Amino acid sequence: AQSVTQLGSHVSVSEGALVLLRCNYSSSVPPYLFWYVQYPNQGLQLLLKYTSAATLVKGINGFEAEFKKSETSFHLTKPSAHMSDAAEYFCAVSVPQAAGNKLTFGGGTRVLVKP
């Protein structure tokens, strides 16, 4: 069975500073990996996804993530934080299965951006 671990349930960054959110996964087969963002009182929005093409994936709002198989990681970064980046971020994994598509989520990391 697959699983996802997000290190740090809360991260505080200054506006303009690097945002780094950590995600490690466990999967018995090559996985597909996703990062979602959840703003207060809203649903989840896809930031980016890795589906076995390029290991460096660029997403929306200036975010990118790098798939590192040797480290079983898929960390999310953004060079310069904006106030609008304050939200909760979820890393998720799915694996090719005979049927169906199930996302397994990490516990989430809440990002606070300080002015």
Partner 1 sequence: DSGVTQTPKHLITATGQRVTLRCSPRSGDLSVYWYQQSLDQGLQFLIQYYNGEERAKGNILERFSAQQFPDLHSELNLSSLELGDSALYFCASSTGQGSNNEQFFGPGTRLTVL
By C-beta, is 73 or 109 nearer to partner 1?
Answer: 109
- Give residues in contact with partner 1 (CB under 8 A): 32, 34, 36, 42-46, 49, 51, 90, 94-97, 99-108
Per-residue b or e along 56-78, where b marks 16 or more CB atoms closer than 10 Å to that residue's CB? ebebeeebbbebeeeeebbbbeb
* CA angle, residues 60, 53, 61, in degrees to nearest 5: 5
CB of 32 to partner 1, least distance (A): 5
By C-beta, is 35 or 81 nearer to partner 1?
Answer: 35
